[in-house]
Structure 1
């Protein structure tokens, strides 16, 4: 896809995530009460369906040859070709609890490499965008990761990839938070991953890591951070792919130190 074509597709993608975001904004407000897990699942699904009713037809018309990832919690490598990786309500559980940390994301992926992404925050009206080789932007203004060179002076963050995580992953998460509490200045932990990653791209947070994780959690932020001048790898510092077991995105000056702290 040419640079000009990328720009056209990105502009239409931005329009789609903003329109879907407006739908979710209308649904946002008081805490949505639920007494059972089934109640919660129904509420989550209703938000997803409301946003997807806008997103899916717009994006499928935009790139009819691109296939659609049906489950946003899925991880692992995708088959070859183009795919839309979409989270219609990233941070959906926050939305239902009346918390502001949620977004709408859409990422076009080709052969497991993100080509372009749009992350819209409906409550602030902000939209983060990136194209492969074209830089990362917030509402048209270039983004740059921080210049931090000392992990001990850095603000770092992590997130829970999904509910009901494997016990081994839960233990790794706990150990990693302990390691970073000793190595970094301050550790933030909350969901969703994408909102930490836009902060890394914007230089507000110095590093983010996560074990396991869904493609829809990590691909948008991976492209944003890379295009903003950051480094993205697995936990050990090796190249990251959607099939990797861990994820690390950081300012170049602390990436190696963060990988070393997490790998102990």
Structure 2
């Protein structure tokens, strides 16, 4: 994206800043949610038809072409209804972009979140859409076509899985925690790869079990549902973090960077955790530079 602001004024609240969290949902956002759910599920249904467990891509060119074709089909079902539902909102064209957005409302989508898994016949992928207002996610939908599950959140109204309220894990000991991380995108720089490796080592020593996988959203929904206890990522891709970030926050979890500072779209890294293990996760990750 161009014309991005370097230091957005809005930050995400952590648990000790709950006064900053919107406690009452916008009626307009609540009313918009069914339209977004319908658009995301429609795209997901088409992707399910196109999906094959027998996919075996043989080259980088083949992988990229398959991902591009799927993205085009899914976007064709997402973009028109979302823009019609919110005519004042702009559309983020580059799903791999990061950093702060210009002022106003933006749709941030991933037409096939976990596309690399999808084109290799694996099942951990989905479709996401997030409405961002002044750099703050206010509405998010994550749909998993192969299971039929739909995760939703409206800022100030909680996080839900198919209508059932989600809550963060109650764990208070990182030594008992299931945590996870993964790379933001192919082709990250050497320093990012080094930090990922060092962070996995640190968490292998600090936590119970560490998952390393993609995409980020499919780990973040587990944190929101209380099945996982923390997720961190160096570098960032907006479309891989925003929907899950809102779900975690609305489920009562804590968002920060790995140093424990409130996270925003200009942050260079990301941590989402249950309140009881957040401080310990920060201590484990803080030495990694």
Fold-level match, TM-score > 0.5?
yes
- Mapped pair 1:3 → 2:3: no
**Unmatched runs of 5 consecutive residues or more in structure 2:** 1-23
**What are the equivalent positions in structure 2 for 1:58-77 lying under 5 Å apart?**
58-77=81-100
- Mapped pair 1:15 → 2:38: yes
Residue 38 of structure 1 deviates from its aligned partner by: 1.9
Segments ≥4 residues shifted beyond 6 Å: none
Aligned to 1:241: 264
- Mapped pair 1:105 → 2:128: yes
After superposition, the C-alpha distances for 1:162-209 in whole angstroms (9 at most, x for unaligned) are 001011000000000000000000001110000000000000000000
- Mapped pair 1:181 → 2:204: yes
- Mapped pair 1:250 → 2:273: yes
Question: Which one of 169, 194, 199 corresponds to residue 192 of structure 2?
Answer: 169
Residue 33 of structure 1 deviates from its aligned partner by: 3.7
Aligned to 1:155: 178
Distance 1:144 1:21 in 2: 25
Question: Which one of 112, 116, 119 corresponds to residue 139 of structure 2?
Answer: 116
Distance 1:29 1:37 in 2: 18
SS of match in other structure, 2:57: coil
Residue 2 of structure 1 deviates from its aligned partner by: 6.8
* Bigger RCO of structures 1 and 2 (CA < 8 A, at least 6 apart): 2
Residue 5 of structure 1 deviates from its aligned partner by: 1.5
**Unmatched runs of 5 consecutive residues or more in structure 1:** none
Aligned residues: 264
After superposition, the C-alpha distances for 1:2-56 in whole angstroms (9 at most, x for unaligned) are 7322122111000000000001000111343433322211110001011001000
Check conservation: 1:31, 1:96, Cα contact below 8 A: no
Distance 2:239 2:26 in 1: 24
Give the TM-score taking structure 1 as reference length: 0.98
